[in-house]
Structure formats: C-alpha cells, structure tokens
Amino acid sequence: MSESVTIKTLDGENSFAAYVARPEGTPTAAIIVIQEIFGVNEGIRRKCDHWASLGYLAVAPDLFWMLEPGLELDADVEDEFNKALGLFGQYNPDDGVKDIEATIHWIRREAGVEKVGCVGYCLGGKLAYMTAARTDIDASVGYYGVMIDQMLGEKHAIAHPLMLHVPTADHFVGPEAQAAMHAGLDDHPKVTLHDYEGLDHGFAAEMGNRRDEAGAQLADSRTEAFFAEHLA
C-alpha cells in the first residue's frame, strides 16, 4: 500500500510531501529512500515499494520542495538531466539533512517505528553520509555519493553503521576523490566501502540506461543484508 503524506519541517514553519510505501503487516523497521537529483520519480517510488515488500516502512521525502515541489525527471532525457544538474547547483544539502531528520522524527513519532535506516543515491548518497554524521539514524547506505571526499572532517561523528557503494568509473566522483574516501574511511570502525570495478554513476538506478544489472543486484543484496543486520 502506498500513499503521499505531509511532514512538518524541523522548525515547524513549513511542510513537505513524502511518498510512503507500507508493508502488509507490522513494519520490522523503516527505511528512508533519499532521491537523486531527479526528484521522487518512478524509480525512487519503485525502490520504496521493494523495501515495503520486504517488510519495511519505506519513505521518500520530496527534498527539492523548496525549489520545485513534486519534481519528477528522467535521467535518460538530456533536457531533463540538464535541468536536474541546475537544481543540484541551487540545492543546499544542509537543508536536506534537516528534512531527513524531520522524516526520522515523523517515522518514530507519527508512524510508531523506532528503528530507522536510510539509503540514498547520487546526491542522496552524499546526504546519506551527512545523515550518518549529523543524526541518530540507526544505519545508512550511500550509492555513488558525490563530494563525500570533501566532508571527511565529519567522519568522527559517525556513530552508527554506514555502507558506501563506489563505482570505480564514476564520471562524477573521480579517482582522486575515491582514493581520498578510502584513505579517510577504510579504517573507520563503523564504515564499509565496496568498490565496483568499471561501473559508472547511476549503475543501480531502478530503470533506464544507466543501470548495470549484475552490479545493481550485487550492491542491492549487500544493502539488504546490511539493513537486515543493523535494523533488526
């Protein structure tokens, strides 16, 4: 079962929409699905529906609500891809983490689910890292997160498990950035990095030209096992 809900911002002054997919029975835990730069589109909703089929409450907040509420873009359409890049340039990820924290509060207080994880892609991968460092979320996963190498100063605040999926041929996260991530995080007791040789940014997209089936299945199986362990 899926629906749209409204979540209040942390300051209570505004609110934003979120797509919610509910399991058939009582949720075992909740997973926040953090969008790419393309909004809460069909691919993100499908990921929520999949988590719900595994028994989780899945929530995808509309993080671009301040720029263009209800945005849905297709990464395979050039004009839409370019529009998404423009919005990424305007977006303040600090605001995104606050909205994710508000979503955590909604899940625990309104939905009554205590254990909460998050999984994010692209921009959402960066936000998953920031959420691990800045909130009390129980477990976080980032796929091809951008600019994490520039935020390694926050790693000391990561208190709960974090997994990062890193495609080695990511044209948005180059070899130097990947090397910095490994140098800064490989010895962190709460962080696990997985490299995907030769794969590019977006390889685990639910649909479209970017998806690599074998890579996506491997990464997603690791993510499912990770949440099964840390959200139990």
Q: Tens of pLDDT along the chain (232 residues)?
A: 889 999 999 999 999 999 999 999 999 999 999 999 999 999 999 999 999 999 999 999 999 999 999 999 999 999 999 999 999 999 999 999 999 999 999 999 999 999 999 999 999 999 999 999 999 999 999 999 999 999 999 999 999 999 999 999 999 999 999 999 999 999 999 999 999 999 999 999 999 999 999 999 999 999 999 999 999 9
CA distances from 203 to 23, 142, 149, 166, 200 (A): 27, 13, 20, 10, 6
Per the residue annotation, which of 62, 170, 212, 220 is the catalytic one? 170
Residue 170 known to be catalytic: yes
At residue 91, the pLDDT reads 96
Question: 134: domain range?
Answer: 2-230
At residue 2, the pLDDT reads 87
Per the residue annotation, which of 149, 201, 212, 220 is the catalytic one? 201
Which CATH number goes with the domain that contains 66?
A: 3.40.50.1820
CA distances from 41 to 61, 79, 128 (A): 11, 16, 18
At residue 127, the pLDDT reads 98
Instruction: Report the number of distinct structural domains present in the chain.
Output: 1
